[in-house]
Structure 1
């Protein structure tokens, strides 16, 4: 198996753009991940880099956001040696100056989910990781620069509010999120981001804006977004997303200079044995 340096949470619509992949079945202490991990060797300006692609929602997009086993997914990438993760995610805009087709490179996160297992540290080892800055500043800076270079409209920072789903927001909820000054809304960034932090893995969310949330675009005759519209908009953004990822891979330094690896406090979680 190739050495794997970078992980990408993205569906088959993304990794099929990278050519030949090797699909690897990974056992984790938390059960199987959403799908086999697709590993590819991506050619970049600094040579070939092993990249592991894992579709959050499953190969056939049959896992709703509240049923994803985030711990299994993150552990699967960790077990392959991944140290950095790029996390493209379909997101709705909460602000009128953030438009469908834009990319928001998030620097903050607000959790509005409920009941999702969100830590590897269930005891007896106790570990309170720092999460004041949920995303890696070093990786974010590279993503911002490379995304701008593609010509797409890029927002250098932004707060993503993560809701439980699978339903979309009511207009009242959407108006409230907008008034808080939050920028985009998504259903998968939590607990994904904090689980990566607990294992010392760098994470950068690449919010691909697919629509205006229910309380943003109130023009007469404009209805709320539909599931089909979101899927279609995210699929249409895949070529640009792929280009950003390739350019980021070629721009990353070999060694990390951020503090993500130290955020674990030097502790390893107590994990159950792999079943079977």
Structure 2
């Protein structure tokens, strides 16, 4: 089992089959929580060892409410991953967050219903702090790259995570807007909090694909996919530079998340 992978990437950005990774190979990892979403592609990019895992599977066959988040995070941990970059698609809850813009979540509202959101089990109680759910060092690197590339990015966003796989009703969407939240999606939770329990750095890069149904225009999967496909090259370019910019030494507190979290 390899234990020297440095950076893990979740998502479906295309980096795993774009030719960017040198000497790529696929590995299957068994976990105490079942199978991860798919095999994991491991390779080198400019000297840094990367692991890529599409959270919905390579053929996008796993709906958000059935993703085995615990297995995915555990598998990255087994490989030695210290930092996770998590691209995702989101809807916009505000006029100024336009489709094709990027958003950087710094807070979340958890409205999921049936997901296993902790490694805490009988005999081990974990109370992690998620007052600041994301790694500030990773977020700083992301902002540096988006600014250098001239990308439109909205920072300090609050992400509403819903269960899915259905989209919101108009009443729900208007309620989410009333909370002051900025974006809405289906995959951030419990992915980010499990990463915190595993003492791994985690940051999300969200691509805005649509205005949620509050805008009186029903959201369709086709619309989401069309916007994502137009943004693929920009996302890949962002990731390419980001991997280089991430400091090799961690100077955040993510690796100490359990120091005061267990009884």
Could you say which TM-score interval applies, normalised by the shorter chain? over 0.9
Match of 2:136 in 1: 137
Q: Is the 8 A contact 1:127 1:265 kept in 2?
A: no
SS in 1 for 2:14: helix
Structure 2: segments with no counterpart, 5+ residues: none
Q: Structure 1: how far apart are the matches of 2:16 and 2:196?
A: 24
1:11–1:53 CA contact under 8 A, matched in 2:
no
Check if 1:10 corresponds to 2:11.
yes
Q: Secondary structure at the match of 1:27?
A: coil
Q: Does 1:22 align with 2:29?
A: no
Contact 2:13 2:235 in 1 (8 A): no
Secondary structure at the aligned position of 1:33 is classed as coil
* Aligned equivalent of 2:65: 66
Could you tell me which residue of structure 2 aligns to residue 101 of structure 1?
100
Coordinate RMSD, CA, aligned: 1.7
SS of structure 2 residue aligned to 1:143? helix
Identify the residue that residue 238 of structure 2 maps to in structure 1: 244
Determine whether 1:195 maps to 2:222. no
3-state DSSP class of the match of 1:110? strand
SS at match of 2:140: helix
Q: Which residue of 1 aligns with 2:36?
A: 33
Moved more, 204-213 or 12-21: 12-21
Contact 2:129 2:261 in 1 (8 A): no
- Secondary structure in 2 matching 1:156: strand
Question: Residue 152 of structure 1 corresponds to which residue in structure 2?
Answer: 151
1:273 aligns with: none
CA contact (8 A) 2:128 2:261 kept: no
* C-alpha displacement of 1:12: 6.4
Partners of 1:157 and 1:50 in 2: CA distance: 29
Displacement after TM superposition at 1:130 (Å): 0.7
Q: Deviations over 1:123-146 (max 9, x none)?
A: 201121111111111110110110
User: Does the Cα contact within 8 Å between 1:13 and 1:235 map onto a contact in 2?
Assistant: no
SS of corresponding position for 2:156? coil
Task: Give the match's secondary structure for 2:75.
Answer: helix
| Offset, 1:249 | 1.3
Aligned equivalents of 1:94, 1:250: Cα separation in 2: 32
Count of residues in Structure 1 that have an aligned counterpart in Structure 2: 260
Give the Cα separation in 1 of the matches to 2:11 and 2:86: 7
> What is the distance in 2 between the residues matched to 1:243 and 1:187?
24
Is 1:77 equivalent to 2:80 in the alignment? Answer: no
How has the CA–CA distance of structure 1 residues 53 and 141 changed in structure 2, closer, same or farther, with 3 Å as cutoff? same
Write the deviation string for residues 240-274 of structure 1: whole angstroms up to 9, x where unpaired: 11111121111121111111111122779xxxxxx
More moved, 225-234 vs 137-146: 225-234
* Structure 1 outlier segments of 4+, above 6 Å: none
2:165 and 2:186 in contact (8 A); partners too: yes
Report the TM-score, using the length of structure 2 for normalisation: 0.94
Counterpart of 2:111 in structure 1 is 112
TM-score (norm: length of structure 1): 0.90
Unaligned stretches of 5+ in structure 1?
A: 269-276
Are the counterparts in 1 of residues 13 and 236 from structure 2 also a CA contact under 8 Å? no
